[in-house]
Amino acid sequence: MTRRRHQREHGTSQMPSQRQLRVGELVRHAFADMLTRGAVHDPVMQNHLITVPEVRMTADLRLATIYVMPLGGRDADAVLAALERNKRFLRGEIARQINLKFAPELRFRIDERFDEAERIERLLRTPEVQRDLDNKPEDDS
């Protein structure tokens, strides 16, 4: 068995395939469209603006991890709980909108990229890093 085939069959591949990326985008658009239309009748969902920056699909396309971020990061736990409560409805709606052999199971996570970017920005502004940046060697060109 070739290494690539082994990775594909056992799900250890590092980079997602074009198919995973394409289906992830289809799920993201369908999910974001449902949120925009107000299709989820949950008071928590109706009181929050939620962005959906990314959807990651497993290699077999049976599990979709949907990354969400409530506007301003407020009430993230309440939003996740509301999404979990409405998981069956959301899965059914996504299955209706996207023609796949199987409707993917949905898993919701808070997108922490903004927090990570802010943490890196704070690190770059520390006096130690600024000192190192100011003392960089000059180019001889």
In the chain the domains, ranked by start, together with CATH numbers, are 3-111 (3.30.300.20)
d(CA 67, CA 57): 11
Residue 38's nearest CA partner among 47, 28, 29 is 47
Residue 119's pLDDT is 81
Amino acid at 42: D
Residue 138's pLDDT is 61
d(CA 6, CA 103): 25
pLDDT tens for each residue of the chain, 141 residues long: 454 554 545 555 579 899 999 999 999 999 999 999 988 888 988 888 999 999 999 999 999 999 999 887 788 899 999 999 999 999 999 999 998 888 999 999 998 877 777 788 888 888 888 887 787 666 554
Enumerate helices (H) and strands (E) in the chain, giving the number of each: 7, 3
d(CA 23, CA 83): 20
